[in-house]
Structure 1
Amino acid sequence: MGISLRNLKLVNVIVKEGSVTKASEKLFLSQPALSHQLKKLEEEIGLKVFNRLNKKLILTETGQVIFKTSEKLLASIDLLNSELDEIKKGKKKKIRLTTECYTCYHWLPKVVQEFRKDNPEINVQINIEATKEPLQYLIKGKIDMAIVSNTANNPSIHFEPLITDEMVVILSKENDLGDSKHLELSDLKNQNLILYDIPEEKNYVLTNILQNNISLVNSIQKVQLTEAIIELVSANLGISVMAKWAVTPFLQNKQLKIIPFEANQGQRDWFIASLNKISETESLFIEQIKRDFKQLKNIKHGNDWKYRKS
């Protein structure tokens, strides 16, 4: 018969208390009952745990192994119970999240950094691999939250409104549209639209701005890197459509200009997707996102934000 957690605790308490009498008080057992449990343990494993010398209990080699193991396991159990209690109270110690859009990594690490200043005990883990399939990772329990721009018809997933950003046209000042104050989709008909090289069903510009109607532009060119898109647009070899906050760091380039769409054509809503009710800790992090994002949208040149590969 294997050693139970109760037996590990029994040996651990006897060693720490120094006697069966004190250990029985600690464990709320009578002294005969505790002695009976210890004797039964030694019979079950076929080894002596303690040597009894002048009414003192001295650990045998077997006892030392059991005690050493009990220290590790009981500490882990205590930690587990503490974490479960924190979760029950809505105070998680770890947040695992991802975002469906690589461009969000432009501002997300900054949010984590600011959040950790006031909450150093919270471990925020960004799962970049989950970016490809955020909701699938969520359903499989590999992350706790996902930042997404579309909701899904899945009763198991809760979507909470997060932030709204603005999609704008980025172009060279030499472009024919450079003098426009606002643009409509029909204005793009003679333009080469440069987009990120990602699956079309995941490309927000194609699915939500163009509504999958590629005839609204003259041509489409796909590029992997944000920096490459910027260089092509700066050379007036095409235009692009990006979130305003994503373009901001590049506006020091005097050849570039951003022009908003008419009405709400460029408005994009973001949501926090989760399987369970948002915990107190996660709510604090969400509020940090909203505060930092508001500041980000007000930055004129984005000097304080390091742009990352998209």
Structure 2
Amino acid sequence: MMDVSLRNLKLVNVIVKEGSVTKASEKLFLSQPALSHQLKKLEEEIGLKVFNRLNKKLILTETGQVLYRTSEKLLTSFNLLNAELDELKKGKKKKIRLTTECYTCYHWLPKVVQEFRKNNPEINVQINIEATKEPLQYLTEGKIDMAIVSSKSNNPSIKFEPLITDEMVVILSKENDLIDFERLELSDLKKQNLFLYDIPEEKNYVLTNILQNDISLVNSIQKVQLTEAILQLVSANLGISVMAKWAVTPFLKNNDLKIIPFRANQGQRDWFIASLDKITKIENSFIDQIKKDFKQ
């Protein structure tokens, strides 16, 4: 089995581009005899001639043409690889791959990306929506660089950095019996029908963290897929919902809706940036953009 090395491909590539062994040896910082020896050794190893020598000129054989075409592809990829590794070593990146564990985050995430790209047009931000189902799994498999999550895992390979804190609020119709409350306790929801997102129960923050999986705290629970559908049902006073304040605020132009916060820190939710490697300078810039948008 033949074993053509990258070094051999570079040898052929440089000889072709420089037009002679003499010029190629200067380019490769080799003596002419040393380069000629390497070329002869290559031809012996593969059992095929790479160049025909006509009137002191080197003409590629069919074998040589195959080697040269391949060298163009591989050396270009190799140079790009080295350049990318060099950028990473300097703490620079040209691409950020991320996801979030919550589909409702996609209400604000595109705007953050848009603002970030204004000052960093050379950075390609890729949002992996598929990874929302299992963000930490995608992270450990190397399919994304960062995940925006509201809960930590015990995996020692994953680093969690505090990102933002948002507030979960109760959304209700102005016809609802709770309308005059300034703040709410969980016990106040006893007679209410609660609309939640139709996602696996273990991933539903309201169910697991607000209600602590105690469905007896409300009269009933109904799962609905879309934010807009939930708010239509709430607006018709068919029940209430609990959402992040930033997620529901754009819909409050509907005069039939009102939001009421919980008492104490019941509705506080912490978000983290999960990553495997040290966060780069450009990734930190993106994180700063998230924090800036939330402050506004």
Could you tell me how far apart the structure 2 residues matched to 1:168 and 1:290 are? 20
Deviation at 1:61, TM superposition (A): 2.6
Matched residue, 2:110: 109
Kindly report structure 1 stretches of 4+ aligned residues shifted beyond 3 Å.
none
* Partner-residue secondary structure (3-state), 1:276: coil
Deviation at 1:45, TM superposition (A): 2.1
Q: Structure 2: which amino acid aligns with 1:250?
A: F
Could you tell me how far apart the structure 1 residues matched to 2:153 and 2:45 are? 56
Q: Structure 2: which amino acid aligns with 1:223?
A: V
Could you tell me how far apart the structure 1 residues matched to 2:47 and 2:276 are? 49
Deviation at 1:15, TM superposition (A): 1.3
Matched residue, 1:218: 219
Matched residue, 1:184: 185
Deviations 1:192-233 (A, max 9, x none): 111111121111111111112222211111111111111110
Matched residue, 2:54: 53
Deviations 1:149-200 (A, max 9, x none): 0112221111000011111110000101112211111111111111111121
Matches within 5 A, 1:20-39: 20-39=21-40
Matched residue, 1:173: 174
Matched residue, 1:120: 121
Could you tell me how far apart the structure 1 residues matched to 2:133 and 2:58 are? 60
* Partner-residue secondary structure (3-state), 1:29: coil
Deviation at 1:66, TM superposition (A): 1.5
Q: Do structure 1's residue 281 and structure 2's residue 274 form an aligned pair?
A: no
Q: Structure 2: which amino acid aligns with 1:111?
A: V
Matched residue, 1:207: 208
Could you tell me how far apart the structure 2 residues matched to 1:135 and 1:174 are? 42
Aligned length: 295
Matched residue, 1:8: 9
Deviations 1:232-252 (A, max 9, x none): 100000000000111011111
Deviation at 1:65, TM superposition (A): 2.2
> Percent sequence identity over matched residues?
87
Q: Do structure 1's residue 76 and structure 2's residue 77 form an aligned pair?
A: yes
Could you tell me how far apart the structure 1 residues matched to 2:146 and 2:11 are? 41
Deviation at 1:13, TM superposition (A): 0.8
Q: Structure 2: which amino acid aligns with 1:232?
A: L
Deviation at 1:263, TM superposition (A): 1.8
Deviations 1:22-66 (A, max 9, x none): 111111111111111111212222222222122121222322222
* Partner-residue secondary structure (3-state), 1:104: helix
Could you tell me how far apart the structure 2 residues matched to 1:208 and 1:147 are? 17
Q: Structure 2: which amino acid aligns with 1:134?
A: P
Q: Structure 2: which amino acid aligns with 1:13?
A: V
Can you give the 5+ residue segments of structure 1 that lack an aligned partner in the other structure?
296-310
Could you tell me how far apart the structure 2 residues matched to 1:153 and 1:11 are? 52
Could you tell me how far apart the structure 2 residues matched to 1:50 and 1:64 are? 9
Could you tell me how far apart the structure 1 residues matched to 2:114 and 2:73 are? 33
Could you tell me how far apart the structure 2 residues matched to 1:240 and 1:69 are? 61
Deviations 1:60-105 (A, max 9, x none): 2322222122111111101001111111222122211111100001
* Partner-residue secondary structure (3-state), 1:258: strand
* Partner-residue secondary structure (3-state), 1:22: helix
* Partner-residue secondary structure (3-state), 2:270: strand
Could you tell me how far apart the structure 2 residues matched to 1:206 and 1:229 are? 16
Q: Structure 1: which amino acid aligns with 2:71?
A: S
Could you tell me how far apart the structure 1 residues matched to 2:120 and 2:81 are? 21
Deviation at 1:7, TM superposition (A): 0.8
Normalised by the length of structure 2, the TM-score is 0.96
Can you give the 5+ residue segments of structure 2 that lack an aligned partner in the other structure?
none
Could you tell me how far apart the structure 1 residues matched to 2:198 and 2:77 are? 46
Could you tell me how far apart the structure 2 residues matched to 1:133 and 1:4 are? 40
Could you tell me how far apart the structure 2 residues matched to 1:156 and 1:80 are? 25
Could you tell me how far apart the structure 2 residues matched to 1:222 and 1:136 are? 26
Q: Do structure 1's residue 264 and structure 2's residue 265 form an aligned pair?
A: yes
Normalised by the length of structure 1, the TM-score is 0.92
